[in-house]
Amino acid sequence: MKSSHLSKAAQLMGLAIYGIGILFSSCSTQATQAENTDVSVRTVSAELPVIEAELTTPPMVPAPITRKHPAKVVVRLEVTEEVKRLADGVDYTFWTFGGSVPGKFIRIRQNDEVEFHLLNHPDSKNPHNIDLHAVTGPGGGASSTFTAPGHETVFNFKALNPGLYVYHCATAPVGMHIANGMYGLILVEPEEGLPAVDKEYYVMQGDFYTKGKFGEAGLQPFDMEKALDEKPTYVVFNGAVGSLTGDNAITAKKGETVRLYVGNGGPSLISSFHVIGEIFDKVYPEGGSNVNTNVQTTLVPAGGAAITEFKVEVPGNYVLVDHSIFRTFNKGALGMLKVEGSEELAIYSGQISDKVLKPEGSTIQEMPMAEAPKAQVANNKDMRIALGKTVYVQNCQACHQAEGQGIQGAFPPLAKSDFLNDNVDRAIGVVAHGLEGQIKVNGEVYNSTMPKLKLSDEQIANVMTFVLNNWGNKGGEVTLKQVSKARASNPH
């Protein structure tokens, strides 16, 4: 047997041994619980007030805790296995805590006593459990929560340490359960509470391993070979490409302070979390009590978390990224924070000058791809629009923005664009061949470079149809014949 195969076999054996150990421990614990179920629940202090935990779906966060005393907090979290969107046209069977990826956000207070209920929906095909990194005890709760479909398990723990912690499934094969979306965050607030901020959001990165290539349509199965090689097809925030863009973008107003609870479910990659155009005033690395200030990018390990805080002084769109940057623009790890308010020209002026430095020798940049990826064939205009949205998010959104508004002085708008609407064939040619030099769009001059994208005729027709039918443009459908004609009349 080849050494690489031996290595993969060893990894699989390791996963199985770890899972079997938890299973045996779980079975032993469950036998005890079966005899003493009432006793185990009553170990929580009887004199504490009882509170049913508020659980929220990402990117939302439960309200800050204002009480000044510990409580008995009852957490009920249900596991479901369900088909959901991974990208436009791409579905995946996610295994979830609470119906979302990442799972529901849990917020408790230091020294709270937690009665944790894990429910596994009867329609599930697999047993599951939960390992909460906030728990002091065997398996972080995994040994007490091995839960078959249609069952409910209960255990108690005391929140001894404040911080922001990951939770995840630890049933064998552990990596597969995590890779299918079984992770989330639990915040244990310190006794004195956290400093007040204006906005709080929940952002968690994860890597997904599908049989098909990025963007390949249909219901995609999990690929163990890619997972073992740690070569994900998708790297995304909050479980899907575009989960934090467009109408799903998080928001703030100029002058507000934003706190992001950032997690990384992995299972494999480390995240280099960064917000383009902002500096983190504070970072709580590893989700702990230490504070770093004036941070540009912070590392979030697989199975780890960080808290970032920053004040937004300038309005505009701020892009959330994994600064291992190909993951952002080619695998999906991109989000958006939209900040409203009046301009602050003393802090950020926008472009005030644009001069030709060296006009000779300019050339069209070309994206370094060996060949255009295969595109799903659209059968009608509506399908072309849907597929075009995926192409737009993957290739165009970073420059032209989620609503096609562009970036003033840098990248021209596609929304209500006279350049586009007056001559669609010309615009198709720009996508096919790239563009260098000045153009005027909606009365404003732009002199940036549009790279030549390695897109198939089908993808160009799709993305152009998507753009034409959004943001106040004139509508219509771009055909493969139009694209072929534009490609043949290459002016360069």
User: Is 3 among the domain residues?
Assistant: no
88 and 184 part of one domain:
yes
Alpha-carbon distance of 228 to 223, in angstroms, equals 9
Alpha-carbon distance of 45 to 114, in angstroms, equals 10
Place of tokens 């956000």: 105
What residues are designated binding site?
128, 133, 168-169, 177, 182, 323
CATH number at residue 436: 1.10.760.10
Tell me the whole-structure pTM to 2 decimals.
Answer: 0.74
Place of tokens 């007056």: 422
Tell me if 421 sits within 8 A of 414, measured CB to CB.
no
399 and 305 part of one domain:
no
Tell me if 405 sits within 8 A of 416, measured CB to CB.
no
Alpha-carbon distance of 260 to 205, in angstroms, equals 13
The amino acid at 399: C
Query: Structural domain tally of the chain?
Result: 2
Length, in residues, of the chain = 492
Tell me if 176 sits within 8 A of 223, measured CB to CB.
no
192 and 57 part of one domain:
yes
User: Is 23 among the domain residues?
Assistant: no
What residues form DSSP beta bridges with 92?
Answer: 84, 220
User: Is 7 among the domain residues?
Assistant: no
User: Is 26 among the domain residues?
Assistant: no
Tell me if 284 sits within 8 A of 333, measured CB to CB.
no
76: left (phi over 0), alpha (psi -120 to 50) or beta: beta
Per-residue CA distances from 62 to 79, 137, 445 (Å)? 20, 26, 46
What string of pLDDT tens digits covers the 492 residues of the chain? 444 444 444 444 444 444 444 444 444 444 444 434 333 344 445 689 999 999 999 999 999 999 999 999 999 999 999 999 999 899 999 999 999 999 999 999 999 999 999 999 999 999 999 999 999 999 999 999 999 999 999 999 999 999 999 999 999 999 999 999 999 999 999 999 999 999 999 999 999 999 999 989 999 999 999 999 999 999 999 999 999 998 999 999 999 999 999 999 999 999 999 999 999 999 999 999 999 999 999 999 999 999 999 999 999 999 999 999 999 989 999 999 999 999 999 999 987 776 655 555 555 555 554 444 455 678 899 999 989 888 888 788 878 888 899 887 778 999 999 999 999 999 999 998 888 778 899 988 887 677 777 789 999 999 999 999 999 999 999 999 999 998 888 655
Considering 330, 364, 398, which residue would you say is the last residue of a domain?
364
Tell me if 414 sits within 8 A of 397, measured CB to CB.
no
Tell me if 206 sits within 8 A of 182, measured CB to CB.
no
**DSSP class per residue in 254-306:** TT-EEEEEEEEEESSPPEEEEEET--EEEEEGGGSS--EEEESEEEE-TTEEE
Domain with 161 in it:
48-364
ω into 285 cis (within 30 of 0): no
240 and 112 part of one domain:
yes
283 and 389 part of one domain:
no
What residues are designated binding site for Cu cation?
128, 133, 168-169, 177, 182, 323
351 and 481 part of one domain:
no
385 and 289 part of one domain:
no
The distance of Cα 43 from the centroid of its chain, to the nearest Å, equals 38
Alpha-carbon distance of 425 to 408, in angstroms, equals 24
262 and 332 part of one domain:
yes
User: Is 32 among the domain residues?
Assistant: no
Tell me if 245 sits within 8 A of 328, measured CB to CB.
no
What residues form DSSP beta bridges with 292?
Answer: 283
107 and 239 part of one domain:
yes
323 and 418 part of one domain:
no
What residues form DSSP beta bridges with 156?
Answer: 115
Considering 334, 364, 394, which residue would you say is the last residue of a domain?
364
User: Residue 122 CB: number of other CB atoms within 10 A?
Assistant: 9
390 and 286 part of one domain:
no
Considering 332, 364, 396, which residue would you say is the last residue of a domain?
364
Tell me if 268 sits within 8 A of 232, measured CB to CB.
yes
User: Is 252 among the domain residues?
Assistant: yes
Alpha-carbon distance of 97 to 169, in angstroms, equals 9
CATH number at residue 323: 2.60.40.420
User: Is 12 among the domain residues?
Assistant: no
Q: What is the CA radius of gyration of the chain?
A: 25
User: Is 369 among the domain residues?
Assistant: no
254 and 193 part of one domain:
yes
